[in-house]
Structure 1
Amino acid sequence: MPATSRRTRSDALQNRARLLEVAAQVFAEQGLDTAPVAIAKQAGVGVGTLYRHFPTREALIDAAYQHQLARVCEEAANLLARNPAAEATRMWMEHFVSYATAKSGMSAALNTVIASGIDPYADSHALLTDAVATLLEAGGRDGSLRTDVTSDDVLLLMGGIAYSVQHGTEDQARRLVDLLMDALTKGSAAS
């Protein structure tokens, strides 16, 4: 009997994760008008499973946003495990810009969540600050990044780069990331 409960729990977690991935993609690409049954079908689960995990559309939107943001932030540590700090930082910045560009399609959906009384951004700043701090600290330790720059400084600049992509091109965003990386490495022990 305990093995069945554990398996059900594992299946439920997998279903939830699939729903969050599909919902984030669908909301970003198609907006709020997508029927929950279409999201459930694309995730390979029944609509009852969707509503069991997310009783309202707003709960689904908020959870999808939080899930995507957590994945972006976790990527900082993953990249550091496989790359030198400055390279991992550049890769994470490019990943962040891609995420922010995709999230811009979710703006209307997130505004609906906010109108319902849920604050999807409540933990966003802390998650992002921690991810950037992890990168900056690693770069400070190996001498590849400046130590006089704060996570908030980098996040503010990254927000500007992400915003510019909505009005510019991906090539322009890459050039801006290059400029930011030049600023982060200038004056470091490695420069």
Structure 2
Amino acid sequence: MNDRTDDSDDGLKPRGDTERRVRADAQRNLDTLLQTAMAVFASSGVDAPVREIADKAGVGVGTVYRHFPQRSDLVAAVFRREIDACAEAAPILSATYAPFEALAAWMQRYAAFIAAKRGLAKALHSGDPVFDNLPGYFDQRLRPALRTLLEAATTAGEIRSDVDAEELLGAVASLCMSAHNAGSGRAERMVALLVDGLRHGAQSS
């Protein structure tokens, strides 16, 4: 009987490493596919050929359909990815900038998300049940992200204390939609003015 406890040569660790690499590669490929789909939808609309998305992502059409059997599945996944990216930007910005600067930067990131969402509007309002849970997911991810930034800026005395996250999300979305055809940079300037107005009535610490 061999009492050796070192299991480095039993083949399990290399196999585990290989499986992790395969999973990581698969996730990167999926991220690339979703990012490419978002870009194609923005430029060509949600009815763009699946082959165009596959070709630009460097994958086969079969790969797209294996992950997303229906076009609506792909659109929903793209939308969720955009929501996640926007939400995940909040703690990164908060760790990088002063509270008000982090808030202002995130609101511009959110404005970019709203612009991207317009490219998906036709599908999102089609009545397909696959999209039914997306409004709830939007609220679940983005409201807490913004609320954290607002609380930090309020605590720092940089903005007024009566700003509601839901109202601000709605206000920025309305601004972006109204500025859609007003020329490049118009929405960004309007959002910057709105956010700067939050300083009025701030209680400096």
Shift of 1:116: 4.5
1:108 and 1:54, CA in 2 relative to 1: closer, same or farther beyond 3 A? same
What's the TM-score once normalised by structure 2's chain length?
A: 0.84
User: TM-score scaled by structure 1?
Assistant: 0.89
Deviation sequence 1:136-165 (CA, Å, 0-9, x none): 011022111222211112112111111122
- The answer to whether the 8 Å contact 1:58/1:116 transfers is no
Give the match for residue 76 of structure 1.
90
Instruction: State percent identity of aligned pairs.
Output: 36
Letter in 1 for 2:40: V
SS of 2:191's equivalent? Answer: helix
Please say if residues 107 and 191 of structure 2, whose CA atoms lie closer than 8 Å, have aligned partners that are also in contact: yes
More off after superposition, 132-141 vs 46-55: 46-55
Q: 1:175 to 1:27 in 2, by over 3 A?
A: closer
User: Do residues 67 (structure 1) and 86 (structure 2) align?
Assistant: no
The structure richer in helix per residue is 1
Which aligned pairs between 1:102-113 and structure 2 lie closer than 5 A?
Answer: 102-112=116-126
Unaligned runs of 5+ in 2: 1-14
CA distance in 2, matches of 1:33, 1:173: 26
Q: 1:185 to 1:19 in 2, by over 3 A?
A: same
Aligned position for 2:54: 40
Matched, 1:150 2:181: no
Cα deviation digits, residues 97-144 of structure 1 (max 9, x gap): 2221232122113234x3254323231122221121011011022111
**Which aligned pairs between 1:30-179 and structure 2 lie closer than 5 A?**
30-112=44-126, 114-119=127-132, 120-179=134-193
- 3-state DSSP class of the match of 2:86? helix
Instruction: Sort the Cα spacing of 1:169 and 1:125 in 2 relative to 1 into closer, same or farther, 3 A.
Output: farther
Q: Which has the larger radius of gyration?
A: 2
List per-residue Cα deviations over 1:157-182 (Å, max 9, x = no partner): 11111112214234432342233223
State the distance in 2 between where 1:187 and 1:6 align: 52
- Cα distance in 2 between the residues matched to 1:68 and 1:155: 15
Distance 1:40 1:116 in 2: 25
